[in-house]
Amino acid sequence: MYHKILVPISFDPDRDITGALKLAKILCTAGGAVTLLHVVEHIPAYAISYMPLDYLAQAREALQVELDTLAATLPHAIGVVIEGHSGRSILDWAETNSPDLIIIASHRPGMQDLLLGSTASQVVRHAACAVHVLR
């Protein structure tokens, strides 16, 4: 059983996050904490100029609401939205906050990814804690 669990959340339409949430609920000790983390990738400067001025603020707010809704389904869970490259940002957050376990979903990889998706692969290879990969 784990005391601090990190669950990176992707809101891509082809991702099913229910398995990761169920597993976090099962593996978290009584009184433990679960963090649902979403990483907003940086938008290139040439593309951001075509978007409304408050696009990023509105997007972050909507993502936070979604994470808070998901977190309400788990005991002692919170949602956190950060910005950066997904793999590196997950690892940086984990280094700072020291979770006992990271539960990360991986898509069905193509040959370019070999066995895991690129984000899951980076987290598995470099995390300082246990990592559980879901497919």
Confidence of residue 43 (pLDDT cuts 50, 70, 90): confident
Q: What would the 3-class secondary structure string for 4-35 be?
A: EEEEECCCCCCCCCHHHHHHHHHHEEEEEEEE
Average pLDDT of the chain? 90
The pTM of the full predicted model, rounded to 2 decimals, is 0.90
Residue 113 reports pLDDT greater than 50:
no
pLDDT in tens, 11-25: 988 788 999 999 999
Domain boundary assignment for the chain:
17-52+61-130
Return the residue matching tokens 């070999």: 114
For residue 110, the model assigns a pLDDT of 53
Does the pLDDT of residue 107 top 80, yes or no? Answer: no
Is residue 79 over pLDDT 80? yes
Report pLDDT for 128. Answer: 97
Tell me the CATH number for domain 17-52+61-130: 3.40.50.620
